[in-house]
Amino acid sequence: AMSKSFIESSQDMGIVATAKHFPGHGLVKGDTHKKSVYIDGELKELDVYPPLIDAGVLSIMVAHITVQNNEKYGTDGLPSSCSRTIVNDLLREELGFEGLIVTDALNIMKAVTIIENAPLLASKAGCDVLLMPIDEKETIDSILAEMEKDADYKKQVYASVKKILRLKICLGLMG
């Protein structure tokens, strides 16, 4: 009830509420700033998110947490933020979230800084906003190059850009 109230009052004032850290960070041991951390087995905190989605939260941040020993939602050694299984299949398709999907910080979190071209992987996974990549120009160049090679990915990027622009218009940030 308090989360719903926070979401509604924040968004009524033009502030985008963001639920985080999907698919759940409370039961994970360790700090993603310092190393890769894991959800081992069942996603025990997943039930937190449907009520937030139903309350109309506009944005969800995906954590850099690897999921292992989970046949359906395993991330194959990648952080959740770089996993299409987590971002697209689970969050978008199964949970029906249509809002903005944001990565956690890409520049200081050891869980992703050790992965080659993590921002591109996160974008390809379905994240709409890549929060603080280490090298913005390299990130943009890799995304543009991938868009030239993959028509479906190009459509996905355009859909993300449209979603961001629509949100800015609705918030009165663009005239």
* Marked catalytic residue, from 33, 64, 150, 152: 33
- Taking every pair of C-alpha atoms in the chain, what is the biggest distance, in angstroms? 49
Query: Is position 33 annotated as part of the catalytic site?
Result: yes
**Closest C-alpha to 95, from 57, 152, 129:** 57
Residues 6+ positions from 32 with CB-CB distance below 8 Å: 63, 64, 65, 79, 104, 109, 110, 111
Count the neighbouring beta carbons within 10 Å of the beta carbon of residue 72.
Answer: 11
Reply yes or no on whether 104 is catalytic.
yes
Catalytic residue among 104, 128, 135, 141, which?
Answer: 104
Q: Is the dihedral of CA 90, 96, 97, 99 positive or negative?
A: positive
Between CA 49 and CA 58 the distance in angstroms is: 12
Residue 170 tokens, joined: 């609705």
Known catalytic residues are: 33, 104
